[in-house]
Structures are given as C-alpha cells and as structure tokens.
Amino acid sequence: MQVSTRALVFSSVKYAEADLIVSCFTEDYGLKSYLLRGIMKSKKGKLRASLFQPLTQLHLEAIHKDKGTLERIKEAKVLVPYTTLHTQVVKSSVVLFLAEMLKNSIQEEEANGDLFEYISVSLQWLDAHEAIANFHILFLLKLTAYLGIYPDTSGMEYPYFNLLEGNFEKEPLGDYSESGDAVDTLKRFFGINFDDLEGTKTTKKQRFEALNLLLSYYQLHLQGYKKPKSLLVLNQLFN
C-alpha cells in the first residue's frame, strides 16, 4: 500500500555497507521502521542520508506492507526546515537526547495526531529560541500527558512526590516518595508553557536533580524504558 504522511525521524542506523534502517514516528501510522538500500553511496537518488538526522520533520511517500517487516520509502522531503537544531552544539545535543527519549517512550504502530503535533510544534519553538536550558525538562513533563502518565497535581501543595503513584503526598508513603529541592524544582514546570521558560531560572544542580527525578518517573511507568545514552553529554553541556 502506497501512503503519504508527515514523519519525525527518531533514529537512523547504518546497516550492511551502504544501507540505513530509519525509525520514524509518522502522523498517520504511528511508529514505522524503513530500510533504505544503498543510500550511503547514492549521489543521484531521490533519498539522501542527510534527510534522516534526528527529529527532522519530513513528508514521506512510502510503501507499507504492514507485516511487521521493514517498510520502504519512495520519496522524502523536508517539511519544516530547521535553522539551528542541527548546527548549534547545545541544541543538537538536546535533539539527540529527546530523539532517544521519544524512541524509548513511543512504541505504538497507531496514529496519534495530537502527540505528533505536540512534538512538531515544540521542536519549532526550540529551533526559534535561545533560552533553552530548561526546555528538555518541560518537554518531557508535557510529554507524559500524551503518554497517559501525567502526574496527579491535585495535591501540589504537599512536599512529597510519589513516583510510583504519580501524585503528591503530605506524608511519605512507600519507597518511592521523594521530597526536597528536586521535587520543588519540578513543581515549577507544572502549568507553564515554553514561552514561560525565560523566566524560569534554575541552577545546574536543580536542573540535574529535577531531570533525574523525571527520568526515574519515566522508568517506573513505561515498559521497556532504557536510560538514554546521550544523557551524559547533555548534562556536561548544561553544566
């Protein structure tokens, strides 16, 4: 079946001598993997390896057999040209980290237009702004809503955050109740938008602890979650 859809590149891995296996989150068909034969050597074809950088937004013409095997891309073109995401060191590191997190978090082969739109618009915001030190924290917190694991904020005034239950508590209940500066910092990201980030000041230590708290939350609530390899580089850059 020939399909036409918007897509976000999650990863591309070299296969054999000149092939790529590309993982994309498509707007209309969810997560799909494609085998691009000979693309690393091709200079005249319609497909170029440079199109498949992390979180590039593409329009695809593809062949889907929907048999659990690798699909085929006939044509791809950049839908949203970035000006900074793949050229600025800090932003490209954020993009690598988020691409890895998204690939770990989204496994469904089904359409989710709201999630696709959220990722697309967020990346355009990141591309256009410079006050981005806290972007990845807010992005991941907001992402939990689309993954169905957004924390219950009805007890936000309480000092303890129960990672397992996903709510705030007056007293610690169980082994997964956390309190302290990391929880206080994470609370500052609830109910704000990306445009509010410029006024959200955090120290290196606060960012580090809040992010680790959020990643622990992901680990508890997402089956098959893997700690992102790019986290170390990201922390080094922001520190």
Q: What does the alpha-carbon distance between residue 204 and residue 69 come to, in Å, rounded to a whole number? A: 44
In which region does residue 107 sit, left (phi positive, over 0), alpha (psi from -120 to 50) or beta (all else)? alpha
**Strand pairing of 167-169 and 2-15?**
unpaired
Predicted pLDDT at 44 = 66
Q: Which residues contact 9 (CB under 8 A, 6 or more apart)?
A: 22, 23, 24, 51, 52, 53, 54, 55, 56, 58, 99
Domains, the chain, ordered by start: 2-78 (2.40.50.140), 89-238 (1.20.1440.120)
The pLDDT of residue 209 is 95
Instruction: Supply the pLDDT for residue 46.
Output: 78
pLDDT for 16: 87
Cα–Cα distance measured from residue 204 to residue 224, given in angstroms and rounded to the nearest whole number: 29
Contact 233, 226 (CB under 8 A): no
- pLDDT at position 164 is 97
The residue behind tokens 């290196």 is: 204
pLDDT in tens, the chain (239 residues): 999 999 999 999 999 889 999 999 999 999 999 999 999 887 666 789 999 999 999 999 999 998 888 999 999 999 999 999 999 999 999 999 999 999 999 988 889 999 999 999 999 999 999 999 999 999 999 999 999 999 999 999 999 999 999 999 999 999 999 999 999 999 999 999 999 999 999 999 999 999 999 999 999 999 989 889 888 888 777 66
- 49 conformational bin, left if phi > 0, alpha if psi -120 to 50, beta if neither: alpha
